[in-house]
Structure 1
Amino acid sequence: MLRAAATLAVAAALVTGCGSGDDWSQPHPTPTPVGTFGPGFVDPSSAPTPEATITPEPGSWNAVHPSKGYRVVLITAGDDAPTRTLVTAVEDWARAEHVDLRTLRAGDPVPTIVKAVEMGPDLIVSAGNDLVDPLAVVTASHLAQQFLVLGAEVAEPTHNVTAVDWTGGSFRGEGLGASSTYDAASFTSDRCAASIRAGVAAVLHDLTGIVIWLDQF
């Protein structure tokens, strides 16, 4: 009996990921950014318009961090090398920043995304091209929830969907398949690490509904 209970406890820990143990049912302070952008992230005199693309200077996001306990759900689909590299980058970032990260692997994407919303995170991060079209279906109905898409874009994003992309990524869904410029080799560890940090920095500073373009890596 005790051995069975211990096994269930281990299984539960694996499902919830590297979180703090909080079940997220308690009130949670509004997340705040710790630190500010360096020069060149965005023109301070002119905020980007919805669906605009910005090309920040490399490293201009490095001084921005989430407050401790920032709640993130990572949704991942696929076992291809680009997706695995993105997932590793998010996990490494979460550990370094003391983020409460939960991971959902999407066998059936739309219900999985809805489940992530129901968990009440501060941010939902997606990794995997198979999630792009399902995100387009769900995100417009949950405008209070912030989403961050890594290495791809939703074709017509609402203000709560931010993307980090580059020339070798740029998958946009809508049945069109991968872009002619798609290059799996462009999903390097450095670029994927920069994508989660730059994307979260933008979301924390309310620069949402835009595309952050990282061709500098």
Structure 2
Amino acid sequence: MRPHLRAVATLAAAAALVTGCGSGDDWAEPHPKPTAIGTLGPEFIDPAAPPAPEATATPRPGSWAGVHPSKDYRVVLLTSGDDRPTKALVKAVKDWAEEEHVDLRTVVADAPSDLLPSITKALGMAPDLIVSAGNDLVDPLATVTPNHLSQPFLVVGAELAEPTDNVTAVDWSGASFRGEGLGMSSTYNPATFTPARCAAAIRAGAAAVLHDLTGIVIWLDDF
């Protein structure tokens, strides 16, 4: 972990303790634990051999289609960047939220200095799930997420190099940005961020989180 990120993360965590309560307006009210409505298809994973932490699962396309979040699922969309892939992911998340009647709020990091504070703001809202869209957030998330293991995160269109159990990712060959100084994947292709694949990414990822299949990478190459 880079020293300057560690220092900023420590300050961000302290700030979250001070400002977290009540920062989500009505989200401060008691809220039942979310549940999955519906079940995963038999080819999402092998039930006899579920993926180990940090493993990659390649579900059959559509095997997540029968899963929906329970009423008033609270989600924060955390995003940074105005490139076409990020915009496609953001639109997919917003469309999914509208179709599933998810209570969605958005936190945007407009500049590099906003990245860690934006994560702190999202954490302070205490959502059921934080969804991240944008490669610039990968390294800051790698710094912060191990300190907030009770908060589920879903990274769409990228992944963390060493995710903890609370971080799930949905990725594919044309995406696969991992941060940590590894640079962009040689297979990166913005054209692979199609509306259909981005829609599948949020639906498959949310379905996995709702079924407690977390800390893994869901791979969508065969799509």
Q: Same fold (TM over 0.5)?
A: yes
- Supply the distance in 1 between the matched residues of 2:195 and 2:46 (Cα, whole angstroms): 28
**Structure 2 match to 1:127:** 133
**Structure 1 match to 2:50:** 47
Deviations 1:87-132 (A, max 9, x none): 0000000000000000010131111101101101000000000000
2:216 paired with 1:216: no
The alpha carbon displacement at 1:201 in A equals 0.3
**Structure 2 match to 1:65:** 68
The alpha carbon displacement at 1:22 in A equals 6.7
**Structure 1 match to 2:90:** 87
Amino acid at match of 1:167: S
Amino acid at match of 1:138: V
Query: TM-score by structure 2 length?
Result: 0.87
Aligned residue-pair number:
197
Deviations 1:59-94 (A, max 9, x none): 000000000110000011000000000000000000
RMSD over aligned CA atoms reads: 1.1
- Supply the distance in 2 between the matched residues of 1:177 and 1:152 (Cα, whole angstroms): 12
2:188 paired with 1:182: yes
Any stretches of 5+ residues in structure 1 without a counterpart?
A: 1-20
Change (3 A) 1:22 1:38: farther
Query: TM-score by structure 1 length?
Result: 0.89
Deviations 1:149-187 (A, max 9, x none): 001010000000000000000000012321111000000
SS at match of 2:26: coil
**Structure 2 match to 1:172:** 178
The alpha carbon displacement at 1:39 in A equals 2.2
- Supply the distance in 2 between the matched residues of 1:87 and 1:106 (Cα, whole angstroms): 13
**Structure 1 match to 2:12:** none
SS at match of 2:90: helix
- Supply the distance in 2 between the matched residues of 1:51 and 1:38 (Cα, whole angstroms): 21
